[in-house]
Structure 1
Amino acid sequence: MSDEAPSKNEKSTSPTPTCDAEKTDDQMVAAAAAVLQIQENPPDIFKLDVDCCEELFEWLSIKDLHSFGQTCKRMHRIAGIYFRQNYPGAKTEFRSDGIYYDSTRLDGFMEFIDDISIETYDSNLLAYIGKCKSLKAINFKFLDKGLKFDMISEVLAKVENIQIIVGELKEKDLELSPNLKRLIVNWSCNAYLLFKLNKCPKLEHINFPPIEGRFKGMERFFEQIPNIQSISIDWRILYANKNGFLQSNAKLDTLIISLRDDEVDETFGSILNELHDRGFYKRLHLLQMDFAGGRQQSIDSFASLRALDGLLIANIETDVIWPLMQNLKTIVIGDFNDFDLTTLPSKLPMLQRIDILLDTTMDVIRAFIRWSKDLKQIRIKSTIEDVETILDLTSLNKERAKLAAASKVIIYVPEDVFLAKKFAGGVSRSFIEIKRFESAKSDLFYS
């Protein structure tokens, strides 16, 4: 397709859409669409309105969408905005030769990418990241000595989420991100910065460092970050500083705790329930990351928690008898061995979302569809070999229709599975819909 320069008459009647970061997506799409409509003798595909373009994009892989967007400047704008709006879960990564999502190079969408991972410093990094005008989140997998925050200060000024897995954050770096809302850092080298967070007045979420012992002044810690809504913390750190938390005036929405099975004792439930009763937090998310865990004692302790809202469990032992968890809304399951997942719906009456990280069966999906009335999402991250058998939409839709007052369920699957179902007969029924995993936005609880 050609992208010839407009004539003088066209210039006088239609401004060419710009990549002004201040414009909303809707404004940018409208501007691009306006140019398409008035172009003299455009190719037939340019006669399609934006809604038709978006319907076409539904049939494309991310790789094909990116290729489509490289045909001309106008389609680049429409495809790029569609990518930003419809692929919030597509985590992109900077590499030495470009920006990628998995094995797909996405350099053409740089100005539309809002979340990127940076593994290490490279001489090409500054040129690439400078073109990412929409960035809201950066994950520094390894912040080495070659990259300093002041080198990308213009980008950091707009960033809202920063994660540093390995590397040292400096006090002056906090001042470069006045719009920062979420900060996840390896604090081991500079835990003192926890008490310098007043430099980030909009901060809503932080993690606590995995350092043994008490933090002095914990009862006053939250006064410096009045907008804080959630924290993530290792259970050992919370236990060591429980008195400081109990004495603080913080009112969190969500408390996220990571722990191992052998750390759950008789004080576990009582401390967390007391913190909840005093108003320290409203909702509790537990991340049980122990792949040798999932024993009966720890799961029974989880059931005693009055505010348990989300649970990530890396392993469930085969002989566990799952207790009633009255308020649990989200569960993420890793290895469940030979544990029968079909028994869970009756034990989780408020469940709204389940993520299954490993292989699953039609019986498991059918059980949740049939009995979990409030269920809204099923996320299946692993590859599904027998797509037709496991995701028989007609059969699942009939099961859902039997459940009175049941909500519609969206099943998120890998892109290859989504496209296979799309071409095989559709991805939507009245009670069931299939979407790409990448279209589900990651959150603090699970990413």
Structure 2
Amino acid sequence: MSDERGKVEKNTQADMEKSTVDQSQIQNAVAVSSNSQLSSPILKLDVDCFEELFEWLSLADLRSLRQTCKRLKQVIDYFIKSDYPAMKIGYGRIVLHEDKIDQFQQLNPTSLEMIKQARICFDPLTEKEINVIKCILPQLERLKISTYRLNGNFYESILKRCLNLKYLSIGSIHSNSYAIIGGGNKWLHRQHPTIEHIAMDDNDIGGPGMAGRFPELKILFELNPNIQTFSTTFNLLRVNSNGFLGSNIKIDQLNVYGDCFYEDGMNVICELLNQLHDQGFYQRLHMEASYITLQEELDLIISVRGMEKLYLDFCSSDKLTLAPKPDIEELGIRYVGDYIALDAVAKSLMNVERVCIGQGKVEDIIPFLRYARKVKEIKVGRLNGGAHFENGVIDLPALNKERKGLAGASKITIYVHEDVFLATKMALMKTDFSLVTLKRAEAVEWIHQLRY
């Protein structure tokens, strides 16, 4: 998820624009050499023609096409980087499991040098595995550790070697673990000048012996004012609140997530968050709350100050609604169903700019078209039919008409699964209208889940 300020991860404008230099490079890549007698006529097309053709292909077809020759690979890689950043071709990410260690050892030096992000899932993580992966540690910018057990010293074995690390995420935290957290926590007493984002996940598990209390966390933040984003669970934040309340720690953004089934409900968490905001511990809050069953719980969540991004997962028999909340810029709902009154929500969140629906119908989009002037992007993970959606085709002209009815409305880009995108494009022969345009989900890096 990243500018490490917790904003939705996007490519910079420089990455997204097709600069004159890049265009020249790609044109040269597809130009037919005067000395070549075997070049395919398709390679005579310019970049604009290629990009128009690529829009009609599935992403699987694009992957196959990029393997046909070096010239097309270069053109397609450029197209994907510019137009489909979420595809991650050649983006230098790797996930390391026990059964993948042999494949990792077979990578050539050039491939190894490209790795900037890694998730380590060995359990236990022993000296043997550390010796294999230590070659990539100095260049890593993002590191996720998913292991209960580490046979060794985390700082000396791993963190000390990470010279360029900006993002450190640690999962599977338990107080009785002898892994990354627990067993001395000496690395929490050190300065880490390059790290800007820390994430710690205890799976939101409470109870004696499970809820981790780590007084060293206060020391970590005091020694490292460069850490500006902290991601964690309701539970871990709650049980370590004594170290944060009344401190001089100041971060820019707090990402917090968890389930709403504590004995005291959400009142303890929400009161704590407001206290932390009022003392200046964080400026901006991103929250993901699951298993919301009562209107009272939702009201408490909405009362939290500094909230900029809110993702909700309901489990209620009643239709819930949101009180007005002008500071929320991004809203996510995992499954709409009959849980929430979207008309009221769209009217209440007057400054929301991005909406993500995990599963719903096309008509779940319409309230935001009708009432939310500032919404610019809507993503739907899975469409379940309904009005304005037939045979996999979205009635974009109807949605465009709905948007036109709202004075001063911004243009909306709707991101959908590519099956829906291609079916709609084939049926309508276009996906771009005056106030609504349709794109594949891969056209945007939308990291909506805050959970580890």
TM-score computed with the length of structure 1 as normaliser: 0.80
Displacement of 1:422 in angstroms is 2.0
| Pairs aligned (count) | 402
Q: What aligned pairs does 1:87-102 form with structure 2 within 5 A after superposition? A: 87-90=84-87
Q: Report whether the alignment pairs 1:409 with 2:412.
A: yes
User: Partners in 2 of 1:398 and 1:385 — Cα distance?
Assistant: 19
Q: Residues 167-316 of structure 1 correspond to what in structure 2 (within 5 A)?
A: 168=149, 170-171=154-155, 172-186=157-171, 187-188=173-174, 189-191=179-181, 192-193=184-185, 195-196=187-188, 198=190, 200-210=192-202, 212-263=211-262, 264-290=265-291, 293-316=292-315
SS in 1 for 2:158: helix
Deviations along 1:88-124, one digit per CA (max 9) or x if unpaired, are: 3236xxxxxxxxxxxxxxxxx5xx2333434443322
1:37 aligned residue (31, 38, 63): 31
Q: Structure 1 residues 373 and 141, CA, compared in 2 at 3 Å: closer, same or farther?
A: farther
* Alignment-derived partner of residue 115 in structure 1: 93
- Tell me the CA shift for residue 363 of structure 1: 2.4
Q: Is the 8 A contact 1:373 1:407 kept in 2?
A: yes
Measured against aligned partners, the alpha-carbon deviations of 1:10-33 in whole angstroms (never above 9, x if no partner) come to: xxxxxxxxxxxxxx9966764453
* Native 8 Å contact 1:218 1:248 kept in 2: no
Matched, 1:436 2:440: yes
Once the two structures are superposed, what CA deviation does each residue of 1:238-263 show, in whole Å capped at 9, x if it has no partner? 22222321333332222111222123
CA contact (8 A) 1:345 1:367 kept: yes
- What is the CA–CA distance in structure 2 between the aligned matches of 1:284 and 1:372, rounded to whole Å? 22
Q: Show the 5 A alignment for 1:363-378.
A: 363-378=363-378
Relative to 1, partners in 2 of residues 1:330 and 1:72: Cα closer, same or farther, differing over 3 Å?
same
Q: Quick one: structure 1 residues 423 and 74, their matched pair in 2 at CA, closer, same or farther if it must change by over 3 Å?
A: same
Amino acid at match of 1:268: I
Q: Distance in 1 between matches of 2:143 and 2:83?
A: 22
Which residue of structure 2 aligns with residue 330 of structure 1? 330
What residue number does 2:5 align with? Answer: none
**Structure 1 residue 70: Cα displacement:** 1.4
In structure 1, the partner of 2:143 is 162
SS in 1 for 2:139: coil
Question: How far off is 1:235 after superposition?
Answer: 1.8
Residues 132-186 of structure 1: per-residue CA shift (max 9 Å, x gap): 6543322334455587244234433333222233354622211332222222212
- Classify 1:198/1:369 alpha carbon distance in 2 versus 1 (closer, same or farther; 3 Å): farther
Shift of 1:429: 1.0
Of residues 125, 131, 136, the one that matches 2:104 is 125
- How far the C-alpha of 1:381 sits from its partner, in A, is 0.7
**Gap runs ≥5 in structure 2:** 1-16, 203-209
Alignment partner, residue 79 of structure 1? 76
Given the superposition, is the C-alpha separation of residues 141 and 218 from structure 1 closer, same or farther in structure 2, using an over 3 Å criterion?
A: closer
Q: Which amino acid aligns with 2:159?
A: L
- The residue aligned with 1:17 is none
Stretch moving more, 47-56 or 379-388: 379-388
Cα deviation per residue 1:201-251 (whole Å; 9 max; x = unaligned)? 221211234252532244332133332121112222222222321333332
Displacement of 1:69: 1.0
Conserved? CA contact 1:137–1:159, under 8 Å? yes
**Counterpart of 2:245 in 1: which secondary structure?**
helix
Tell me the secondary structure at the aligned position of residue 310 of structure 2: strand
Distance 2:51 2:123 in 1: 38
Q: Is the 8 A contact 1:284 1:308 kept in 2?
A: yes
Question: Does residue 397 in structure 1 map to residue 397 in structure 2?
Answer: no
SS at match of 1:238: helix
User: Is residue 287–residue 450 contact of structure 2 (8 Å, CA) maintained in 1?
Assistant: no
**CA-to-aligned-CA distance 1:284-319 (integer Å, 9 cap, x gap):** 1222133xx332221010121121222222214231
Name whichever of 122-131 and 427-436 sits farther off. Answer: 122-131
The structural deviation recorded for 1:383 is 4.6
Does the C-alpha gap of structure 1 residues 175 and 219 become closer, same or farther in structure 2, counting only changes over 3 Å? closer
- Deviating more after overlay: 143-152 vs 116-125: 143-152
Percent identity over paired residues: 30
Unmatched tracts of structure 1, length 5 or more: 1-23, 92-108
CA distance in 1, matches of 2:450, 2:383: 19
CA distance in 2, matches of 1:259, 1:367: 28
Is 2:132 the counterpart of 1:151? yes
Please give the TM-score of this superposition, normalised by the length of structure 2: 0.79
Question: Is 2:297 aligned against 1:319?
Answer: no
CA contact (8 A) 2:245 2:276 kept: yes
Aligned-residue Cα RMSD (Å) equals 2.9
1: distance between equivalents of 2:371 and 2:168? 38
Q: Which residue matches 2:6?
A: none
